[in-house]
Amino acid sequence: MSVYEYRVTGSPAEAAAWTRRQAFFTDLRAVWGRAYPRVSGMFREPSWLFFELLLPLLATSAFVFVYRSLQAPSEYVGFVVLGGAMTAFWLNVIWMMASQLYWEKSQGNLELYFAAPIDIMAILFGMAVGGLVMSTTRAAMILVVASVVYGVAFDVQQPLLLVAVFFLTMTALYGLGMMLASLFLVWGREAQQLTELFTEPVYFVSGLSFPVGRLGMLGALAIAIIPLAVGLDAMRQLAFAGGDIAFGTPSPEIEALILVAMTVVFLFAARWMLRAMEERARRDGRLSLRWQ
Amino acid sequence: MSVSPGSVASGPPAIEARGVRRVYNVKPTAVVALDGVDLDVAPGEFFGLLGPNGAGKTTLIKILTTLLLPSEGTARIFGFDVATDVKRIRRIMNMVAGGEQSGYGILTVREQLWMFSQFYGLPRGDGWRRVDELIEAVGFTEQAQQRVSTLSTGQRQKMNFVRGLLNDPWILFLDEPTLGLDVAAARSVRELVTSWKAAVPGRTVLLTTHYMAEADELCDRIAIVDHGRILAIGSPAELKRRVQRESIFRLELDRLDGGVAALARLPGVVSATPAASASDAADRQTVNLDLVLVEDGALGGVVAALSGLGAHIRSLRKSEPSLEDVFVELVGRGFDEEGSDTAAAPPDGSGPGTAPMDQPEHEPGEPAERERV
């Protein structure tokens, strides 16, 4: 057998006849394959410590000092720290999920992803997994450092629910990211502007620096459609359970159910949109024509 | 297991295209990139699509690699329909394009290749092993631990070629693989292709190129394409014979008493003229002439006559028409002449033969301004 040969197959038809198991494991390997550059890149460019840890920490600190000068309840400092940590995930979703496919297209990667015998969802899952590792590290460091520096006192009475809400927030958030990815690809060049357009408003309506219930109807709307808003609010309620802050939002249990619904809707929508996008791309030539 | 070309020859053709037409619906007017292409490529064949920029070569490759649907007609790869048997085709093919900037600059060559191996289902350990074996086979060991972003264009293309072999494809699509490479790098890529093909003769290659010498050197058969249509198909020799109606020889003699006119009168000689490089010959004190004969057999009479004239032959070379001559004969213009590079090109210039977009190290606007992964 020549060094160039890999699979012992007697004919192209035999080589093309994969079992469902083979196809499934190929998709699974593709997830890790695509996550790999993100995970290894995290250790290879230590500059992220400055950009993604120190700078967000400064922004969080500004709000801490504002609340302290206003003599706000001590929980508000905790709210800001938690919000600062969760910023990492939204930035990751919007920049490295939603607008990523468009960038991959301009690099020629997208064409190779489509030309490979994998489901494109596997690529998006890979991006999500890699992004989660990066963002969780960043969020954890912000949370730990800020909590120690500003003396945040957590009062967690339902730790399992808190963990569950965190993971549900992640699945819903990255599900939204996958959905946006195919949408941004169809929108083409506007993806960059859309990314910028979405960043700040989502920060605001998600209540990253204040309880989202203070936004009234707007906050309720955010809880209904933005995983970050509902997830963060539930986590705040669970992390500072003993305080006498009136959140003015549904209970954490209800919000957990909202997150479950969001996860299902976003993942199915992402899958449907990706298939539609691929079909449209093959019909219109959108994978071949870089200007589109 | 080595598979000879014959063992797959009994199966369906490697490529079978019937009436393939592709129209890009762009404003103000639709662009016809392919206009009724019929093509059969046998398993194990090294087939070339030769044509100027914008001829429709890349569009045809996109269709055959399932990335683009034909507007009309059908195409099959080893019997699998490009419109419906997408996954099956993707399992047995791979593609490498010239100027490809794929992957992530932050990874090493070895890591990048491993990443792509995962998209073809190679188990984790097998992936690393195969990458190492292929890197060694193509003589790329020194660059294995080098970051992709630091590779030269030629090195990068070598890496891309290895990527194309990761899944041991039954059919490999090479779209202008030497585009933008210097002479040495282009030769190196061509050598890689030929050594791979020699090692696995049962594999099929479809090469698009607008370098005629490349097509001539590598391909068993060539289709000359222009304005989305195939104008001629055949082996390089067959195509050249289409334009060679007479036998042309270049002769270098030590002397020729009586001048070229003495030869022009001989039977079977159409013409005998001093060669264009006659001044060089004068420096070397020899006589160079171009001899056009009605057929090769007339050469014997010429050689005998030269002997009678006391002339000694220093060199004798048969001149063959080039593929460019074939193209000019078929199209009525050269590759680089006006009108050869616009008609069938996709409207953005991203299509055949277009230089790649620059790969930014950083994505503007990204908060961290780090390299995208």
Q: Provide the angle, in degrees to the nearest 10, between the axes of the packed helices A75-93 and A227-239.
A: 150
Give A6's contacts in chain B (Cβ within 8 Å). 122, 130, 166-168
Range B112-123 average pLDDT? 97
The alpha carbon of residue B235 is apart from the nearest alpha carbon of chain A, in Å, by 25
Q: Which helix (H) or strand (E) holds B329?
A: helix B323-331
Q: What is the pLDDT of residue B279?
A: 57
Is B198 within 8 Å of chain A by CB? no
Calculate mean pLDDT across residues B1-27.
Answer: 78
| Mean pLDDT, residues B277-283 | 58
Q: Is residue B344 part of a domain?
A: no
CA torsion sign for B199, B201, B204, B207 is positive
Give me the number of domains chain A comprises: 1
What's the pLDDT at A83?
93
Q: Which of A107, A119, A279, A280 to mutate to test the interface with B (most CBs of B within 10 A)?
A: A107
β-sheet bridge partners, residue B17: B39, B75
B271 plus B159 within the same structural domain: no
Contact B106 A44 (CB under 8 A): yes
The rounded percent of chain B whose pLDDT value lies above 70 is 86
Record: contact A11-B8, CB cut-off 8 A: yes
Interface test with B, best of A6, A28, A31 (most B CBs within 10 A): A6
B243 touches B321 (CB < 8 A): yes
Question: Between vectors from CA B202 to CA B200 and to CA B203, what angle results, nearest 5°?
Answer: 75
In a domain, B369, yes or no: no
Nearest to B102 among A51, A103, A112 (CB): A112
**C-alpha distance from residue B254 to each of B289, B290, B318, B319, B365 (Å):** 11, 15, 18, 20, 73
Q: Say whether pLDDT at A139 is over 70.
A: yes
Total domains, chain B: 2
Neighbours of B35 (CB within 10 A): 18
Mapped onto helix, strand or coil, the DSSP state of residue B126 is helix
pTM equals: 0.84
pLDDT band for B277, please (50, 70, 90 cuts).
Answer: low
Residue numbers in B near A117 (CB within 8 A): 87, 90-91, 119-121
Residues B193 and B165 in one domain: yes
pLDDT over threshold 70, residue B340: no
Residues of A in contact with B79 (CB under 8 A): 13
User: Is A288–B350 a contact, with Cβ atoms under 8 angstroms apart?
Assistant: yes
Residue of B31, B45, B135, B373 to mutate when probing chain A, most A C-beta within 10 A: B373
Q: Does residue A2 sit within a domain?
A: no
**Ramachandran angles phi, psi of B340, nearest 5°:** -90, -10
Asked if residue A203 is part of any domain, the answer here is yes
Q: Same structural domain for residues B134 and B81? A: yes
Q: Tell me the CATH number at B290.
A: 3.30.70.100
> CA B118 to CA B111: how far, in whole Å?
11
Band the pLDDT of B284: cuts 50, 70, 90. Answer: low
Looking at the predicted structure, is the pLDDT value of residue B4 above 60?
Answer: no
CATH number, domain with residue B41: 3.40.50.300
Interchain pair B365, A10: CB under 8 A: no
pLDDT of residue B338: 52
Cα dihedral sign, A261-A267-A270-A271: negative
A108 to B101: CB separation less than 8 angstroms, yes or no: yes
CA distance A6 to A33: 19
Q: Which of A16, A44, A114 sits opposite B67 (nearest CB)?
A: A114
The size of chain A, in residues, is: 292
Examine the domain organization and report whether B212 and B328 are in the same domain.
Answer: yes
Residue B60 corresponds to which tokens in the numbers above? 């045809």
Strand B247-253, strand B313-319: pairing? antiparallel
pLDDT digits (tens, 9 = 90+) for B149-164: 999 999 999 999 999 9
Q: How confident is the model at residue A287 (pLDDT cuts 50, 70, 90)?
A: low
Residues B129 and B34 placed together within one structural domain of the fold? yes
Cα(A245)–Cα(B26) distance, integer angstroms: 58
Mean residue pLDDT across chain A: 89
Answer whether residue B120 shows pLDDT above 50: yes
Q: How many C-beta atoms lie closer than 10 Å to residue A285's C-beta?
A: 26
Mean pLDDT to the nearest integer, B60-79 = 97
Same domain, B77 and B95: yes
Q: What angle do CA A110, A112, A114 make, to 5 degrees?
A: 70
Q: Do B11 and A103 touch (CB under 8 A)?
A: no
Classify burial at A145, counting beta carbons within 10 Å of its beta carbon; exposed 0-12, middle 13-18, buried 19 or more: middle
DSSP calls for B305-327: HHHHTT--EEEEEEE---HHHHH
pLDDT band at B337 (very low <50, low <70, confident <90, very high): low
Across the range B224-249, mean pLDDT stands at: 89
Between the alpha carbon of residue B269 and those of residues B8, B111, B328, the distances in Å are: 48, 64, 26
- Segment A64-118, tens digit of pLDDT: 999 999 999 989 999 999 999 998 898 888 888 888 888 888 888 999 999 999 9
So what's the pLDDT on residue A78?
Answer: 93
Any domain includes B102: yes
Cβ contacts from A onto B, under 8 A: 211
Query: Average pLDDT of B318-327?
Result: 83
Smallest CA–CA distance, residue B266 to chain A, in Å, is 56
Contact B2 A2 (CB under 8 A): yes
Average pLDDT across chain B, whole number: 85
User: Which of the residue ranges A140-149, A161-170, B320-329 would you say has the lowest mean pLDDT?
Assistant: B320-329
Range of the domain at A110: 31-284
Residues B50 and B178 in one domain: yes
| Residue contact A45–B199, C-beta within 8 A | no
pLDDT at B286: 85
Cα B342 to its chain centre, rounded Å, is: 20
Mean pLDDT, residues A184-208: 82
Report how far residue A181's alpha carbon sits from residue A122's, in angstroms, rounded to the nearest whole number: 13
Predicted local confidence at residue B278, as pLDDT? 52
Chain A residues within an 8 Å CB radius of B351: 288-289
Instruction: Summarize the confidence of residues B254-268 as an average pLDDT.
Output: 83
Q: Compare B355 and B232 and report the one with higher pLDDT.
A: B232
pLDDT of residue B283: 65
Domain contains A292: no
Quote the pLDDT of residue B250.
87
- Integer Rg of chain B from CA: 25
Residues B160, B78 within the same domain = yes
| Residues paired with B170 in a beta bridge | none
CA–CA separation, B216 and B218 (whole Å)? 6
Q: Provide the pLDDT for residue A5.
A: 87
Mean pLDDT of the region B299-322: 87
Identify whether B45 is part of a domain: yes
Measured between alpha carbons, how far apart are the two ends of chain B, in Å? Answer: 37
Is residue A291 a part of any domain in this protein?
Answer: no
Q: Is B165 on the interface with A (CB under 8 A)?
A: yes
Q: What is the pLDDT of residue B1?
A: 44
pLDDT for A10 beyond 80: yes
Q: Please state, as a whole number, how many other Cβ atoms lie within 10 Å of the Cβ of residue B182.
A: 12
φ and ψ at residue B75, rounded to 5 degrees? -140, 140
Helix (H, G, I), strand (E, B) or coil at B29: coil
Q: Is A152 inside a domain boundary? A: yes
Give the tens place of pLDDT for each residue, B27-45: 888 899 999 999 999 999 9
- Judged against a pLDDT cut of 70, whether residue A259 lies above it is answered with yes
Per-residue exposure over B123-135, b if at least 16 CB sit within 10 Å of its own CB, e if not: eeeebbebbeebb
B156 and B132 in one domain?
yes
B204 lies in the same domain as B307: no
**Are B192 and B55 contained in the same domain?**
yes
Q: Measured between alpha carbons, how far is B2 from B202 in angstroms, rounded to an integer?
A: 8
pLDDT tens figures, A39-69: 998 888 777 777 777 888 888 899 999 999 9
Percentage, residues of chain B above pLDDT 90 = 55
Whether pLDDT at B248 is above 90:
no
Please check whether residue A241 is in contact with residue A157, taking contact to mean a CB–CB distance below 8 angstroms: yes
Alpha helices in chain A (DSSP H): 12-16, 20-44, 48-49, 55-69, 75-93, 100-107, 109-115, 120-150, 159-187, 191-205, 217-225, 227-239, 252-284
Bigger pLDDT: B89 vs B291? B89
Mutate to test the interface with B, among A3, A31, A194 (most CBs of B within 10 A): A3
Counting residues of chain A whose pLDDT is more than 90, the rounded percentage is: 58
Chain B residue with CA closest to A6: the answer is B168
- Nearest-by-Cβ selection for A109 from B1, B102, B370: B102
Say whether both B144 and B272 belong to one domain.
no
**pLDDT band with cut points at 50, 70 and 90 for residue A127:** very high
B52 domain-assigned: yes
For position B199, what pLDDT does the model report?
93
Domain assignment of residue B126, given as a range? 5-241+324-337
pLDDT beyond 70 at B84 = yes
B196–A109 C-beta distance less than 8 A: no
